[in-house]
Structure 1
């Protein structure tokens, strides 16, 4: 079940969209303005659907505020220029109102599927980045295999490690590999 935020100032449209999404097993929150939407932690949502013209600020200001959460823009004042502007600012899609229910559901499903793929790709990339230093270590002798094994076991713990060796033996590479495997690997 996906968590979606609807930002729409017209209660009838907001309610209709809510019913449509809930009927298709999505969890939905609502806001009437960008200001009200900011009261939520925007990154908790899988998708934000926002009207372009809202009281106070335009819906496109949510694109930057939402970070990696995708924002789909809808508007009654559809024009080629406003669509291009919204997409340039980072909107994942642009739907004119009144929207066709099937068209909206297809757009929502596509954006959510892409979001799941992107999250999976980011997780895989992080895993690869974390394991890369050990893979980057050259050698397959018993000593090197033992070192790689120890890095994999000791890295995630909160244990101090002393790395000793002659110049050019890979102490810095070992330290980086340990750091990447630690809980502070992103720090």
Structure 2
């Protein structure tokens, strides 16, 4: 079981001190109290504290000064400011000075518990981050960008060139070409590598949800907003934010996004106070942003803001010489994960892989190899293990015409290939088990394949 963090309560009000000490003690936290800023500084000598709750209004040394002095003694201390509603503005000043968060009096026990849990998680992630930072300095460079073609080697050189700067990078390429992998390589070799890289899938969320995800929200900002939530820009403070499929952002959110990129300040949904943030932007798109600008679908000023250094990722069909290297790489990874002794790809199977056009690019190739490892028995992958045949054109006339018929045929084939292992089949089909069970029932599929 994880050790409970030590909490120091700093407040001159006896009722607040007693209440908080009682709550935390009941939950098993080691807790200490100080009734002034001066006493809090003295208690810091007793050993490391993990979290300090500090009242903003105290006689003598106020909360802002106490916060500054406490952080001087222990930079890793997480300070939560306690404030009356009238002094929220002062609490925001403390946030700008490095306080973790603030909470208003009178306290809601649920809000306080939620805030402490978040602070504990933040401290854990920070400790893990320090370890990862050390490991990153020893990591082999670019070992996940697989290939020896001139096209992919050119991409690696571009990554090396831009990674050491703080310039905005835009990664352009078809779906499945490895845009997020390149974004992670940029971050891992940048001066910000010790801080988080935060990913936002701009195309996967509705406009309102994307705003809350990017900028955060205050408690009560909308129905269901039970707690204050930091947005992705705040979470990426000091690190990198990766805006995936940025071409899918709505016109309204484009305006807000441009403002944040220009000012390096965010205002949470439902909030009024701007919060300073420091981040590096890496964006990706599978769309032609210049064409979207001309069509009036993407803001020109945002386009210029993102289009600082562009890396074009080649489609897999443009670097076929990399297919054997990629296939072997994916074979080794998935055979190891599934604990199967499959060590090579037969020449016939490799010929089939080389013959495909791969509209889904590297992601489709990995999916095909993974499926082959699922059904293969080793020691090498054979053509019959792959999810396609040597002469697909001969089967064209037999292909199902309707979408539902095609789906039924595809699901039946995957079930047959996996020996009706529902978990494996659902993973290959990229759906959950419940959805797969529903489709089996819908299409009347039976284990003998005759449904």
Q: TM-score, normalised by structure 2?
A: 0.28
- One of 49, 52, 64 as aligned partner of 1:48: 52
**CA positional deviation for 1:127:** 3.8
Match of 2:11 in 1: 8
Q: Distance in 1 between matches of 2:102 and 2:132?
A: 30
Match of 1:38 in 2: 41
**CA positional deviation for 1:80:** 4.1
- Report if aligned partners of 1:78, 1:96 keep a CA contact under 8 Å in 2: no
- Report if aligned partners of 1:8, 1:54 keep a CA contact under 8 Å in 2: yes
Q: Distance in 1 between matches of 2:99 and 2:118?
A: 14
Structure 1 runs (4+) greater than 6 angstroms displaced: none
Instruction: Report the count of equivalent residues.
Output: 133
Q: Distance in 1 between matches of 2:26 and 2:40?
A: 23
Label 1:27 to 1:113 Cα distance change in 2 as closer, same or farther (>3 A).
same
- One of 28, 31, 46 as aligned partner of 2:31: 28
Larger-Rg structure: 2
Q: Distance in 1 between matches of 2:20 and 2:132?
A: 34
Q: Distance in 2 between matches of 1:81 and 1:24?
A: 31
Match of 2:80 in 1: 72
Q: Distance in 1 between matches of 2:85 and 2:115?
A: 19
Q: Alpha-carbon deviations, 1:15-71, whole Å to 9, x = none?
A: 101111111111101101110011123771110001001121111223333222110
Match of 1:116 in 2: 124
- One of 57, 61, 68 as aligned partner of 1:57: 61
Q: Distance in 2 between matches of 1:19 and 1:119?
A: 28
Q: Distance in 2 between matches of 1:88 and 1:53?
A: 18
Correspondence list, 1:62-141, <5 A: 62-64=66-68, 65-66=70-71, 67-129=75-137, 131=138
Q: Distance in 1 between matches of 2:88 and 2:115?
A: 18
**CA positional deviation for 1:102:** 0.8
Q: Distance in 1 between matches of 2:35 and 2:95?
A: 22
Q: Distance in 2 between matches of 1:70 and 1:13?
A: 20
- The alignment yields a C-alpha RMSD, in angstroms, of 1.9
- Report if aligned partners of 1:5, 1:31 keep a CA contact under 8 Å in 2: yes
- Report if aligned partners of 1:76, 1:98 keep a CA contact under 8 Å in 2: yes
What residue ranges of structure 1 are gaps of 5+ in the alignment?
137-187
Q: TM-score, normalised by structure 1?
A: 0.65
What residue ranges of structure 2 are gaps of 5+ in the alignment?
142-451
Match of 1:19 in 2: 22
Q: Secondary structure at the match of 1:116?
A: helix
Match of 1:184 in 2: none
The one of the two structures with greater contact order (alpha-carbon pairs below 8 A, sep at least 6) is 1
